[in-house]
Amino acid sequence: MTEMNEPIAFIDLAAQQRAIRGRLDAAIGRVLDHGKYIMGPEVAELERQLADYTAVKHVVSCSNGTDALALPLMAWEIGTGDAVLCPSFTFAATAEIVPWVGASPVFVDVDERTYNIDPDHLQRTIEHLRDNSDLTPRAIIAVDLFGQPADYERIEAIAAKHDLLLLEDAAQGFGGRLNNRAAGSFGDAATTSFFPAKPIGGYGDGGAIFTDDDDLAERLRSLRVHGKGSDKYDNIRIGRNARLDTLQAAILLEKLAIFDDELQARQAVAGRYAAGLNGKVAVPDVMAGALSSWAQYTIRVADRDRFAAALRNEGVPTAVYYGKPLHLQTAYRDYPLGPGGLPVTERIAGEVISLPMHPYLDEATQARIIDAVLAAL
Ligand SMILES: *Cc1c(COP(=O)(O)O)cnc(C)c1O
């Protein structure tokens, strides 16, 4: 519990560490004892447990959530002249890896209730590209923004209809579910990030790729170690160095052990926000059949700067994800947009603001946040 004017944490990683510090120290100690810092036994164990957790056949851990997105594009040999459709209302990594392989991102608008890629606009963008562009649509990257799975029932059907590959960016979505399938199990492959502030984070960079495709998994395992064949001195393709450290895997195993309890605590926090704020401000809308991992609790307000300042005065931190969508960023402004542009993205980017959200947010502190939000509105 926090005192009246004590600052509140936006994401309280220290509280989580206090809960499992002994187990973390022991896990780190075991790695220091065996000394297998690269691809040690904890890496394989983490991959096995993540495969279990998501009910996916193969998990390939890697260096970070950005490389996790890039490796499948490399494995699928997506390149020059190809288009990869993705939202603009997301973190830069989602689109950044597309030019890495020489292809072009094509930005699609989002649904204003879920903030995830709009299947109708996706469909129209594919048709528009087929008729009006030299680019060949090859893949879709859908993002589970703020923790909620995208509308995969419709997106998987669109991908199948147009013979496109589908990559799920579950960097924020790990732990979420849709119709009893786990985030990480949608599309031809899915990815996540273990950046410290994500729903499941390590103490450094890390990521993972999930797939049921045996051949893809084998290529990913090769690509993450310099395109190795029988070993890293046998190079059968151009790869990268994109491995997950053993130390991070050891830490992540301890975080995974408490992840379901944390996920439940996040649901309780989201429930209390909804009870306190619903009807007073635009609270997140979770689709029927969906469970959010609540990477963020994002509301929408008209006068955002004034609202954020009022909360700051009460010791309540907020954050804006994403105030400037990718298609308006300097680096991305020359890439194509779906037909009619991205009006929803542009409108909500000016209104979204995220409140403190983490599993250790106690009721009294949260009541203080809710009071401050209501007063600031
Ligand atoms: C964080 C994030 C990534 C990238 O993950 P890193 O581990 O930071 O490279 C990709 N996509 C989304 C949606 C993210 O939030």
- Cβ 138 vs Cβ 84: under 8 Å: yes
Q: Which of 295, 319, 323 is nearest to 307 (CA)?
A: 319
Question: In 10 A of CB 153, how many CB atoms?
Answer: 15
Flag whether pLDDT at 28 surpasses 50: yes
Q: Which of 270, 273, 146, 268 is nearest to 198 (CA)?
A: 146
Contacts of residue 258, defined as CB under 8 A and 6 or more positions apart, other chains included, come to 16, 19, 20
Average pLDDT over residues 342-349: 98
Ligand 1 atom nearest residue 143's Cα: 13
Q: What tokens appear for 328 in the block?
A: 């308006």
What confidence tens digit (pLDDT) does each residue in 280-311 have? 999 999 999 999 999 999 999 999 999 999 99
- Cβ 254 vs Cβ 27: under 8 Å: yes
- Using a 6 Å cutoff on CB, does residue 40 contact ligand 1? no
Average pLDDT over residues 136-162: 98
What does the alpha-carbon distance between residue 324 and residue 346 come to, in Å, rounded to a whole number?
A: 8
User: To the nearest whole percent, how much of the chain has pLDDT over 70?
Assistant: 99
What does the alpha-carbon distance between residue 319 and residue 353 come to, in Å, rounded to a whole number?
A: 6
- Cβ 220 vs Cβ 211: under 8 Å: yes
Q: Which of 12, 45, 295, 46 is nearest to 175 (CA)?
A: 295
Per-residue pLDDT band at 69 (split at 50, 70, 90) = very high
pLDDT of residue 232: 87
What confidence tens digit (pLDDT) does each residue in 179-217 have? 999 999 999 999 999 999 999 999 999 999 999 999 999
- Using a 6 Å cutoff on CB, does residue 168 contact ligand 1? no
- Using a 6 Å cutoff on CB, does residue 66 contact ligand 1? yes
Average pLDDT over residues 2-8: 67
Average pLDDT over residues 112-130: 97
Per-residue pLDDT band at 2 (split at 50, 70, 90) = very low
- Cβ 115 vs Cβ 87: under 8 Å: no
